[in-house]
Amino acid sequence: SDTLVITNLHCSVEGKQILRGVNLTVRRGETHALMGPNGSGKSTLGLVIMGHPKYVVTEGTITLNGEDLHEKSPDERARRGLFYAFQRPVAIPGVKLADFLRHAATNVRNPERKEGEELMPMRDFRKELKAKMEQLRMNPDFARRYVNDGFSGGEMKRAEILQMAMLQPKIAVLDETDSGLDADAVRLASQSIAEIGREKMGLLIITHHDKLLEHNPPEFTHVMLGGRIVETGGIELAAELHGQGYDRIRRTYPDAA
């Protein structure tokens, strides 16, 4: 099955070493929780997986189905089936969400497509968008707004989930997709991710809350500290950390932070 393999990954941003040897394998169909205190490097790991240009790999590898992604742009990675939902989504003023999604969906379905070449037929796209928005209980007007421009925190997260539903990635990294949402919105987002993600994708879920994991129970929980995954367990590890925080982790791995 589709497999993302991260081996001894070291990464720096603006000359500062952030990741210090991350090892992680995510297969399609698996759900992984990535936890850890603020500043431990979780978002950095997601961004470097997606190939964000600011995040420089200084050692180690990231492969998807055996292919080294090192020289691949974010767009090329997306076309290969990787998806990253930003902790802080960026606005694209002047680009309507529907147009953005049609573009992205075309590229994922036709990875060889070059800029300027035909997009997927409007009729097919509209039909699919409508179906996905109904499934996610979203108002159709939403797709006519500019991407993240003036969106509330909740709307940005909803837009990311819609994007994930349309792109059907092989491996998706969800970076605090539940942050800044009220309880109802968290439940809806959690259910939506479970509906569209279950068994069809590999999920790496970064979260500080238990709702998302309640609906998307992880087979694996990883704890990041000081730019390394210091401990991996099952769902019980996530439960422990939700209940008790990171004191035990800090005490057990005093050299990591």
Give the range of 49-57, 84-92, 160-168, 194-202 binding Mg ion by CB under 5 A.
84-92
Q: Per rule CB under 6 A, is residue 13 in the interface with ligand ADP?
A: yes
CB of 80 to Mg ion, least distance (A): 24
Q: Where are the alpha helices (DSSP H) in 72-209?
A: 74-79, 97-109, 122-135, 153-167, 183-197
The dihedrals phi and psi of 117, each to the nearest 5 degrees, come to -75, 160
Binders in 45-74 for ligand ADP, by CB under 6 A: 54
CA distances from 140 to 64, 128, 131, 132 (A): 34, 12, 10, 10
Rounded Cα distance, 252 and 220, in Å: 19
**Residue 103 half-sphere exposure, CB side, CA atoms within 13 Å?**
11
Pick the closer one to ligand ADP by CB: 13 or 57: 13
Q: Per rule CB under 6 A, is residue 192 in the interface with ligand ADP?
A: no
CB of 248 to ligand ADP, least distance (A): 18
Binders in 147-186 for ligand ADP, by CB under 6 A: none
Give yes or no for a contact between 48 and 9, defined as CB atoms under 8 angstroms apart: yes
Q: Per rule CB under 6 A, is residue 39 in the interface with ligand ADP?
A: yes
Give yes or no for a contact between 10 and 59, defined as CB atoms under 8 angstroms apart: yes
CB of 143 to ligand ADP, least distance (A): 29
Binding residues with ligand ADP: total (CB under 6 A): 13
> Of 172, 197, 189, 194, which Cα lies nearest the Cα of 34?
172
Rg (Cα) of the chain, in Å, rounded? 18
**Among the listed residues 10, 20, 28, 42, the single contact to ligand ADP using CB under 6 A:** 42
Q: Per rule CB under 6 A, is residue 41 in the interface with ligand ADP?
A: yes
CB of 39 to ligand ADP, least distance (A): 4
Q: Per rule CB under 5 A, is residue 38 in the interface with Mg ion?
A: yes
Q: Per rule CB under 5 A, is residue 43 in the interface with Mg ion?
A: yes
